[in-house]
Amino acid sequence: MTTRATAPRPPVRGWPELADADLLRTLVETERRRRQLDAAMRAAVAEAERRGLAADTGYRDTAELLTDLLRISVHEARRRLGCAVPQGRTRSRKVWKVLAAAS
């Protein structure tokens, strides 16, 4: 098992005193953690949608559930749903023309 060095947790008012190397480590570690949290949120939103949790709990749809539960805007709730749930993509006209020409 490898040991990973974690970024130091600087005091709220201590940013100016933080050494450059520690600040760089803090930036990298914070981004790593943010990405992990984003991935966890996408997975949770996708699972809530898959289960139909909104209907089961009296909400019109998952966006409304997220808006109420997480105290976020409808726009943000829909954005999160869009990131979490794969959307069916339609082919562009250009692709259809290429396919038609090829047949």
Instruction: Spell out the per-residue pLDDT of the chain, length 103, in tens.
Output: 555 556 566 556 788 889 999 999 999 999 999 999 999 999 999 999 999 999 999 999 999 999 999 999 999 999 999 999 876 655 555 666 666 676 6
Q: What is the pTM of this model?
A: 0.68
- Cβ burial of 10 (10 Å; 0-12, 13-18, 19+) is middle
Closest residue by Cα to residue 68 from 59, 56, 55:
59
Output the CA torsion sign for 9, 24, 32, 30.
Answer: positive
Q: Return the structure tokens found at 27.
A: 């930036």
How far CA 80 is from CA of 24, 39, 61, 91, in Å, comes to 29, 11, 13, 24
Residue 44, token pair as written in the block: 């949770």
Provide the pLDDT for residue 42. 97
pLDDT at 85: 85
Amino acid at 71: R
**Closest Cα to residue 78, out of 47, 54, 45, 51?**
45
Q: Which residue has the tokens 């998952």?
A: 62
